[in-house]
Amino acid sequence: MSKKSTAPAAMPSEIVMRRALATRDAAFDGEFVYGVVTTGVYCRPSCASRPAKPGNVRFFAGPDAAERAGLRSCKRCKPRATHDQAVFGLLDREANLGAVDVRWQHFDGDTIAEQNVPGTINSAHSAFSQ
């Protein structure tokens, strides 16, 4: 029996993350955050703050991991909002493409009846296809 992995997607390599910091590449916002241990602050890769010494920088998969390490969010770049927008933006794009298939299941003792949930993509599709 195989177990499904619930591990988050892998972060980019350290070399790629350091290059993203050096160039302040906004394409990596939401992919990872970096923290500066001497200031106790974490930022998104494109933050316009003064560059930290490489030895003081730590990389994290997201804001939660940085906060568990004792760092606070940067007041300038607001990495928590950027990360959440990236995550929820991805979910919105999947929903708009029809990748979300929400169904309601009802158990009446012997059988399970499945029907579309009102207000979801499934019910909207079935309403227009009649």
Let me know if 43 is a catalytic residue: yes
The residue from 20, 21, 33, 47 that is catalytic is 47
Q: Is 15 annotated in the active site?
A: no
Query: Contact 45/67 with Cβ under 8 angstroms?
Result: no
Distance between CA atoms of residues 8 and 100, nearest Å: 20
User: Active site includes 104?
Assistant: no
For residues 47 and 24, the answer to whether their CB atoms sit within 8 Å is yes
Active site residue 47: yes
The total number of residues written for the chain in this structure = 130
Structure tokens at 116: 């579309």
Active-site residue identified among 21, 41, 65, 77: 77
The one catalytic residue among 43, 52, 66, 71: 43
List Cβ neighbours of 5 (8 Å cut-off, separation of 6 or more): none
> Which residues are marked as active site?
43, 47, 74, 77
